[in-house]
Amino acid sequence: MKPFLIKLSIETSIVEHEFKKAVKEFDSVEIITQASKQNPDLVVFELADEADLDKIQAYIEKTENTEVFLLSDNSDPNILIKTIRMGVKEFLPLPLNDDTINDALVRFMDRQKKRRSRVDKHAGYTISVVGSKGGVGTTTI
């Protein structure tokens, strides 16, 4: 199975290190660089201040199948409501906890597996046509 690609947009090196350490426990997850041309399945943003929400919302609007996780030490209910309305799938409070990251990644992988299986199921159809007598056009079809 193709690995799930994660792109990190984390400014604090300690937070980035903690997230990468937790991700290493999953074989089916791969962290890609910011310069990578591959489309990630997940982007993890660190919210430094409320002005970053515009950048995050713009990213969500331009991507279709990429999920967004948000890391922040600000758990203000207004910010949480804004992020939920924007389409952020997971809000992880700082400082990070390995169990919190693992739980969020498991939920992410479950959603992605379901999405991938729906895409695979609807890839195409095969229809067989059998004529009951000659000259009804089954060869043409």
Q: Which of 24, 47, 10, 39 is nearest to 102 (CA)?
A: 24
Using alpha carbons only, give the angle 55, 118, 85 rounded to the nearest 5 degrees.
30
For the beta carbon of residue 102, count every other beta carbon within 10 angstroms: 14
Q: Before 93, cis peptide (omega within 30)? A: no
pLDDT classification of 90: cutoffs 50, 70, 90: very high
Residue 72 CA to chain centroid, in angstroms?
A: 18
- Rounded distance, CA 42 to CA 103, Å? 15
Q: Which tens digit of pLDDT belongs to each residue from 21-79?
A: 988 888 888 898 888 888 899 999 999 888 888 888 988 888 888 899 999 988 889 98
Q: State pTM to two decimals.
A: 0.77
